[in-house]
Chains A and B, each alone.
Chain A
Amino acid sequence: MSFLVNLGLGLLFGLGLVISGMANPAKVLNFLDLFGTWDPSLAFVMGGAVIVAFFGYRLVLSRGSPVVGETFHLPNRNDIDHRLIVGPALFGFGWGLGGFCPGPALTALSFGEIGTLVFVPAMIVGMWAARLLSDGNLSLAGVRG
């Protein structure tokens, strides 16, 4: 049951990515090209998503619990650690190079472009490596695992 519900929610998310233009790396890169062929569309994607989620989360979280499971799994940390700077800096660099962040890359697989077909496996391996490094509590310049 959860598989099917999640499939539907992933589909809704993915359709949003296609309709908004976010699944098109050319559009993402133009959004990021402030001093060139700037296309401000993606600010509207972010705006639409945040407005809906801002009010939607309030509504949902005012209930006691989710439909399935006992509690809402919400991040509760407030500290700013090294990883919170290094990770997003790397992510932003890769995003600017390829025009893909994780969701759009997965959704774009179905368009079958060679760039996407090599991006996604490399991304999955990169995610896996970060998790192993993180789970192993390896000490990297004082970074907590």
Chain B
Amino acid sequence: MTEFTPLASLIGGAMIGLSSVLLMAWEGRIAGISGIAGRLLPPYRDSAFASRFGFVIGLVIAPLIYLSTLGGPVEHTVSSNVPLMVAAGAIVGFGSVWGYGCTSGHGVCGLSRLSARSMVATGVFMAVAFVTVFFVRHIIGG
């Protein structure tokens, strides 16, 4: 069980939205994490490497900043099944770039722009994720 946290989730979500809006205002780019992280490795097609690297560093240090300023314990539970997590990581990485975006690029930025492509993509990944968890927890694990 995890606690239902509507207010914290709404505030956190608004911060994610604000970051996406500010990135558009600053350099006119979509805040899609798969697009940003997927271009960290070569080949480099444009000169935005420093921007992308900076954004990723910001993402990575966020928990450290949170713990050292706002404090408070952070609930965090990750599977320690190494083969499962390697496979999941590879599939998430490949699928998100192959499908032109992930939860941020399609789910947040795309839906906000009322993009038909992002609506299709978000519908597909949400549906498959729901089915996958149902299968893993209630068919295999049940």
Q: Real complex partners, A and B? A: yes
Q: Which of A12, A46, A94, A130 contacts B18 (CB 8 A)?
A: A12
Residues of B within 8 A of A66 (CB): 24-28
Q: Are B124 and A85 in contact (CB under 8 A)?
A: yes
Q: Are B57 and A98 in contact (CB under 8 A)?
A: no
For A103, give the chain B residue with the smallest CB separation.
B33
In the complex, A86→B95 CA distance in Å? 7
On chain A, the number of residues with a Cβ less than 8 Å from chain B's Cβ atoms is 118
With A11-B65, A35-B134, A37-B1: A47-B93 Cβ-Cβ less than 8 Å: no
In the complex, A12→B23 CA distance in Å? 11
Q: Are B62 and A15 in contact (CB under 8 A)?
A: yes
Residues of A within 8 A of B22 (CB): 9, 12
CB distance from B75 to the nearest CB of A (A): 6
In the complex, A68→B14 CA distance in Å? 24
Q: Which of B14, B41, B60 contacts A14 (CB 8 A)?
A: B60
Q: Does A141 contact B (CB under 8 A)?
A: no
For A86, give the chain B residue with the smallest CB separation.
B98
Q: Are B24 and A89 in contact (CB under 8 A)?
A: no
Work out how many contacts link A and B, with CB atoms closer than 8 A.
492
Q: Chain B interface: which size bin?
A: 35 or more
Residues of B within 8 A of A77 (CB): 117
For B75, give the chain A residue with the smallest CB separation.
A24
Q: Does A71 contact B (CB under 8 A)?
A: yes
The secondary structure that dominates the A interface is helix
CB distance from B4 to the nearest CB of A (A): 6
- A95-137 vs B, CB cutoff 8 Å, 1 = contact: the mask equals 1111111110111111101111011111111111111011100
Residues of A within 8 A of B94 (CB): 90, 126-127, 129-130
Residues of B within 8 A of A68 (CB): 26-28
Taking beta carbons and an 8 Å cutoff, which residues of A are in contact with B?
2-27, 29-30, 32-37, 39-42, 44-54, 56-57, 59-61, 63, 65-69, 71-75, 77-80, 83-103, 105-111, 113-116, 118-131, 133-135
Taking beta carbons and an 8 Å cutoff, which residues of B are in contact with A?
1-6, 8-31, 33-34, 37-41, 43, 48, 50-66, 74-82, 84-100, 102-104, 106-113, 115-117, 120-122, 124-134, 136-138
- Please, could you name 5 A-B residue pairs with CB atoms under 8 Å apart, sorted by A? A60-B24, A98-B85, A103-B33, A103-B59, A123-B37
